[in-house]
Amino acid sequence: MSKKINYLNGIGIILLAIILWKIDFKQVFKYLKDANYWYLLLAYPFILMNIFLKAVRWNFLMKTQGVRNSIFESFYVYLWAFYFGAVTPGRIGEISKALYYQEKFDNFGSSLSPVVVDRLYDVGIRIAMIFILYPFYSNLFHFKYVDVIILLSCIIAGIVVLAKYKSIQNIIITFSKFLVPKKYYATIENNISGFINDIIKMVTTVKYLAICIVITIPSFLCYCMVGYFILKSFGINMTFTYNIFCLAVSSFSVAVPISVSGLGVREAVMIFLFNSIGLGRESAVLFSLSIFALSPILGFHGWLVNLIMLIRNHIKKRMKVKVN
C-alpha cells in the first residue's frame, strides 16, 4: 500500500514539471527582478503572528483537558514541529507536538486529540471562507453557486444522520487515520474512547467553540495578509478578498493523495484561479511556490529556536556542575 502511495505522489511532481516546462521563465525572472522586497519584510511579522495565534488556540485546547502550559512554550513547540516535519517523512511534524506534551496526559490519545482539533479549526475556517466568498466570484466560473449549496446541504445532512445514529466516532476514526502515521495509530486505538470523547467535547462545547473561532479568524487573516504582501511585492494585481479565496481553495491541494505537500496540484489550482481574473500562469506559479516556501521558512525558525534551547540547557547544566 505504501508503495502505491509513493507512486501516486510522483503524479504531483510530474504535474509540477509539466507546469514549469510550459511557463515563461523570462517573465518569472522579470517578476523577481522588479519585486519590491520591502513588502516581504512587512509580511514577516504576520507569519509569526499566524503561528503564535495557532499556538494560543492549541494551548487553550489543552487547558480544556486540565493540562496547563506556557503559551510561549507552546509557540516554541509549534515552530519546532515545522522543523521536525521538514526533516522527517510523513506527518511526524504534527505528531511531534503531541509527543512533546505526552507525559502531561493520561495517554497518547489524549495528548493527540487537541492536535487533531487544532487542525480541524484550520480546515473549518477555509471551508467557511470558500462558501462566504464564492457568491462574489461565481460569475468567473462555469458552475453555479446553487450547486455548491446543494452539495453542502447533502454533506451537512449526512453528518447529522451519522451523528444521530452514533456514528460520529467513525468520522473521527477516519480523519485520525489520515492524520496519524500508521505506527502511532495502534497506540490511539487502545485509548480510542477517551480520544474521541475529548475531540467531541472540544468541538461541541459552545464556550470552547466560540473561543477557538475568535482565535482562528485573526490567525487565518494573518496568513492571508502574508499572501497579500507576497502579491504586492511581485506587483501582481489582486483584491484582498480574492487572495483569501485563492488561499482557501488551494490549501486543500495538500489533501490530494497524488502529490507531496500539494506540489503540482496547488500550482494547477492557482493557475486556474489566476486565469479566471486574467492573470498569467507565471504569476500563479510564482505565488504558489512562495506560499509553499513558508513551511521551510518556519522550519528554519523551529531549528533556530531549538538550537537556542539546546545551548541554554547546556549552559544551565554546566552552571549546575560548577555550583556542585
CB atoms within 10 A of CB 190: 12
Of residues 305, 217, 234, the one with CA closest to residue 274 = 234
Tell me the C-alpha distance between 233 and 229, whole Å.
6
What would the grid cell of residue 298 be?
518556519
Establish if 48 belongs to a structural domain: yes
Instruction: Identify whether 8 is part of a domain.
Output: no
pTM of the model: 0.80
pLDDT the model gives residue 16: 75
Cell of 202: 472540544
5 is a domain residue: no
Q: What is the pLDDT of residue 165?
A: 44
How far does CA 26 lie from the centroid of its chain?
32
Query: Block means of pLDDT (10 residues each) for the chain, length 324 residues?
Result: 50 76 86 89 92 94 88 86 63 74 79 87 90 82 58 59 52 58 58 72 86 95 95 93 92 66 79 89 90 81 78 73 62
Per DSSP, helices labelled H in the chain are 2-22, 25-34, 38-63, 71-87, 92-100, 108-137, 145-164, 168-179, 182-189, 192-204, 206-233, 240-250, 265-275, 281-292, 294-323
* Separation between Cα atoms, residue 141 and residue 125, nearest integer Å: 22
Residue 267, domain member (yes or no):
no
Alpha-carbon distance of 231 to 237, in angstroms, equals 7
For 157, the 3-state DSSP assignment is: helix
305 in any annotated domain: yes
Tell me the three cell numbers of residue 161. 444522520
What pLDDT, on a 0 to 100 scale, did the predictor assign at position 9? 57
Angstrom distances, CA of residue 154 to CA of 37, 119, 144, 157, 167: 45, 23, 16, 5, 17
Q: How far apart are CA 94 and CA 102, in angstroms?
A: 13
Q: Would you state the pLDDT for residue 214?
A: 95
pLDDT of residue 59: 93
Residue 295 to residue 161: CA distance in whole angstroms: 38
Say if 100 falls within a structural domain: yes
Question: Longest C-alpha distance within the chain, in Å?
Answer: 75
Residues 6+ apart with CB under 8 A from 74: 55, 56, 58, 59, 62
pLDDT at residue 153 in the model: 61
Find the domain containing 204 and state its range.
36-233+293-323
Distance, CA of 93 to CA of 103 (rounded, Å)? 18
114 in a structural domain: yes
Residue 284 covered by a domain: no
The number of distinct structural domains making up the chain is 1
